[in-house]
Amino acid sequence: MHERRIPEWLRHAPAPSVRGFAMLAAAEAVARGILISVFPLRMYQALQDAALVSQVYFLVGIASLLTGLLVPFLARFLPRRWVYMSGASCFIAGSLLATDGSVATTVAGLMLTSMATVTTFVCFNAYVLDYIAKIELGRCETSRMFYSAAGWTAGPVLGVTLLRWWEPAPFLVAATASLTMLLMFLAMRLGNGKLITKSRRAPTNPLGFLPRFFAQPRLVAGWLFAVIRSCGWWVYVVYLPIFAIQSGLGEQLGGIALSVSNAALFVTPFMLRFMQRYSIRHAVRTGFLMAGVMFGSAAVLSGLPWLTVLCLMTGSFFLILLDVSAGLPFLLAVKPSERTEMSAVYSSFRDVSGILTPGVAWLVLLVAPLAAIFGAGAAALLGAWSLSGTLSVRLGKTGIRPAPVPEPQQPFNQTVSASDLHGST
């Protein structure tokens, strides 16, 4: 009798590559790119008040933050693949729920998609930290953004166009893209992460890692860079469309501006070369300084709406430079033994910014016009520029590699096929 052998590719899935992670991120970019310009319009159309929109986003941000903090806890009891699949399923459900069009279902859809985003983000980053070498993190981040460029570029303008044609259309497209992302994840067979020896100790409470996080200045600074960069995007994505409507520039301008800005994602390989030629420090400082100057100019020139929009669009180009570079100081400082909990801490930047930005905007709108929000964003970006002066001049220069860190003796993954977490914008 001839023994039947199982094909090698079925017995052992090929190791995930930079390209594989980039393609997975690209599918997510289509879903999020479609919705990113649609939800602010739908909320403003329903509430007719920028302050109320800020309140809704503030509450959604709190729910999203709590979800991100719970992911490490869930990962102790559920395999990481199930956590990721649950997040992708919530993305599908939230998109479908928002097709109803009422205020309640739109808010619920926004809530579900926000919670889904942070859940898949945490899991994605943990997979990246498991399978991608530290020296390859810069290339992985740039490839992820380059592959995502089409979704982020076409998505916003397509979203507002579809919304005017048939209101449920952009949400149905987002649901289809989310389903594609889920199927791609299953095809990649990422499982639960790398094979890790079982720990003899009970897992540490993820919140117990906060003191260790705050005790490491490099991690704190890297997290703050991510928070402030994300605040800049929140100001641009949510309040530029509202400013355009209030200034009589039309509902579609916000989506068009975001699509044009996101087209800069196609030049991220050149941004990577710029970062490699100089340093991560130089790229981060340049991004925060120029974005802060442009956002400040937008606030000063608010009486000239077209110039305000142009300044914000120019500032967004430097936010993309920060997307390439500003997350690396944190990722390069994370110890392998802390990747799960620190990934969850890092992922909180999106939710913290999602609370801070509408919260500050809410307060600003009590005493000042909408354009003052651009000024507040500029102050935060320039503050980050000052903080980035503490980064090492050598960080990220070509030929300089971080020293290898030994694998932990007692990791936090508790099973042979670990259950961990996460990753970024």
Give the model confidence (pLDDT) of 22-34 as tens digits: 888 888 888 888 8
In this predicted structure, what is the pLDDT of residue 46? 79
In this predicted structure, what is the pLDDT of residue 135? 64
Domains and CATH numbers, the chain: 15-390 (1.20.1250.20)
Alpha-carbon dihedral 352, 355, 358, 362, rounded to 10 degrees: -130
Judge residue 77's burial from the number of C-beta atoms within 10 Å of its C-beta, 0-12 exposed, 13-18 middle, 19 or more buried.
Answer: exposed
Distance CA 143, CA 21 (A): 9
What average pLDDT does the segment 162-184 reach?
Answer: 90
Provide the CB-side half-sphere exposure for 360 (13 A, CA).
Answer: 21
Please tell me whether the overall predicted TM-score, pTM, comes out greater than 0.75 for this model: no
Task: Give me the chain's average pLDDT, please.
Answer: 78
In this predicted structure, what is the pLDDT of residue 397? 52
Q: Please report, as a single letter, which amino acid is at residue 306.
A: W
What proportions of the chain, in percent to the nearest 5, are helix, strand and coil? 75, 0, 25
End-to-end CA distance of the chain: 54
Residue 364 Cα distances to 58, 245, 300, 358, 373, angstroms:
14, 19, 15, 10, 7
Query: E strands, 292-392, where?
Result: none
And the tokens for 122?
A: 């945490």
With cut-offs at 50, 70 and 90, classify the pLDDT of residue 341: low
Phi, psi of 411 (to 5 degrees): -75, 175
Residue count (the chain)? 425
Distance CA 259, CA 274 (A): 23
Residues whose CB falls within 8 Å of the CB of residue 100, separated by 6 or more in sequence, listed in order: 106
* CA nearest neighbour of 329 among 224, 422, 409: 224
* CA nearest neighbour of 287 among 363, 233, 348, 214: 233
With cut-offs at 50, 70 and 90, classify the pLDDT of residue 418: very low
Q: Please report, as a single letter, which amino acid is at residue 209.
A: F
With cut-offs at 50, 70 and 90, classify the pLDDT of residue 252: confident
For residue 417, list its beta bridge partners.
195
Distance CA 262, CA 240 (A): 14
User: Which segment of 44-58, 174-188, 208-222 scores lowest on mean pLDDT?
Assistant: 208-222
pLDDT at 232 over 80: yes
For residue 150, list its beta bridge partners.
none
Q: Count CB neighbours of 297 within 10 A.
A: 20
User: Which segment of 58-62, 220-224, 274-278, 288-292 scores lowest on mean pLDDT?
Assistant: 274-278
Q: Please report, as a single letter, which amino acid is at residue 217.
A: P
In this predicted structure, what is the pLDDT of residue 315? 94
For residue 195, list its beta bridge partners.
417
Q: Identify which of 206-220, 260-274, 292-306 has the greatest average pLDDT.
A: 292-306
Distance CA 348, CA 335 (A): 18
With cut-offs at 50, 70 and 90, classify the pLDDT of residue 13: low
And the tokens for 419?
A: 């259950």
Q: In a 3-state reduction of DSSP, which class is residue 417?
A: strand
pLDDT digits (tens, 9 = 90+) for 119-156: 888 788 778 777 776 666 667 777 777 788 788 888 88
Longest pairwise C-alpha distance within the chain: 85
* CA nearest neighbour of 396 among 215, 26, 142: 142
In this predicted structure, what is the pLDDT of residue 414? 26
Q: What is the DSSP letter of 404?
A: P
Q: In a 3-state reduction of DSSP, which class is residue 195?
A: strand
With cut-offs at 50, 70 and 90, classify the pLDDT of residue 287: very high
pLDDT at 47 over 60: yes
Distance CA 50, CA 38 (A): 15
Q: Please report, as a single letter, which amino acid is at residue 170.
A: P
Q: Count CB neighbours of 406 within 10 A.
A: 8
More reliable by pLDDT, 177 or 266: 177
